[in-house]
A and B are shown apart, each in its own frame.
Chain A
Amino acid sequence: DAKTTQPNSMESNEEEPVHLPCNHSTISGTDYIHWYRQLPSQGPEYVIHGLTSNVNNRMASLAIAEDRKSSTLILHRATLRDAAVYYCILSKNNNDMRFGAGTRLTVKP
């Protein structure tokens, strides 16, 4: 299975942009790149996903490298409520989303 690599943790200051990286060097042509996040004591929630082109929604932006071997989730202005564990996942030939350890984002006031 194609795997993703993310830093264990990152810190950001409130109101500043945050760039969360994800490496997926073994991605195949049909893999979608999904991002979910899990706030404390809650279930994960969908953030964004993409295939080849960069994507924007109300929560975040997803920048996908031209070779698709890496991607970056961008939070344009971090708030304290964005403190969570962020998961980068490839949807391949699986019946489910395979969650790794993710990146724990800390937002400092």
Chain B
Amino acid sequence: NAGVMQNPRHLVRRRGQEARLRCSPMKGHSHVYWYRQLPEEGLKFMVYLQKENIIDESGMPKERFSAEFPKEGPSILRIQQVVRGDSAAYFCASSKDRLIATNEKLFFGSGTQLSVL
């Protein structure tokens, strides 16, 4: 039973390029979360998706960032026109059910380290 799979593990982009980060949730999980962790800081929630729907994107920057979780395939976090400040570790997590008012837990991937040159 594979865990949450993220790829690539490391991604290097030059300023202005696009970054695509992929996340395959655990088998049987239909809820996906993206977090960002800047160096020496805690994890910051970005977006919560269910299959084909964005449920909560309150932590997403308004510009250049987008996320999707299609009916088939992995969830994608897309960053357009990357800047140096986007350099961070991006973690994906999944859960079987929603978290609100439940005792569900999150399962995290190993993250994608994005470096912007």
Fill in one digit per residue for B14-38: 1 if any A CB lies within 8 Å of its CB, else 0. Answer: 0000000000000000000101000
Task: State whether B103 touches A96 (Cβ < 8 A).
Answer: no
Main secondary structure of the interface of A (DSSP, over half): loop
Cβ distance A21 to chain B, nearest Cβ, rounded Å: 18
User: Interface residue tally of chain B, by bracket?
Assistant: 20 to 34
Task: State whether A46 touches B105 (Cβ < 8 A).
Answer: yes
Question: Which of chain B's residues have a CB closer than 8 A to the CB of A30?
Answer: 101
Fill in one digit per residue for A12-50: 1 if any B CB lies within 8 Å of its CB, else 0. Answer: 000000000000000000101010101000111110010
Q: B12 an interface residue at 8 Å Cβ cutoff?
A: no
Fill in one digit per residue for A31-75: 1 if any B CB lies within 8 Å of its CB, else 0. Answer: 010101010001111100101000000000000000000000000
Residue of A nearest to B44 (CB): A99
Task: State whether B45 touches A96 (Cβ < 8 A).
Answer: yes
Task: State whether B99 touches A100 (Cβ < 8 A).
Answer: no
Task: State whether B108 touches A44 (Cβ < 8 A).
Answer: yes
Task: State whether A44 touches B43 (Cβ < 8 A).
Answer: yes
Q: B107 an interface residue at 8 Å Cβ cutoff?
A: yes
Task: State whether A34 touches B105 (Cβ < 8 A).
Answer: yes
Task: State whether B103 touches A91 (Cβ < 8 A).
Answer: yes
**What CA separation (Å) do A17 and B42 show in the bound complex?**
25
Cβ distance B65 to chain A, nearest Cβ, rounded Å: 16
Question: Which of chain A's residues have a CB closer than 8 A to the CB of B110?
Answer: 42-43
Question: Which of chain A's residues have a CB closer than 8 A to the CB of B43?
Answer: 38, 44, 99
A43 and B93 in contact (CB under 8 A), knowing A34-B105, A95-B98? yes
Residue of B nearest to A50 (CB): B103
Question: Which of chain B's residues have a CB closer than 8 A to the CB of A36?
Answer: 106
Fill in one digit per residue for A76-93: 1 if any B CB lies within 8 Å of its CB, else 0. Answer: 000000000001000101
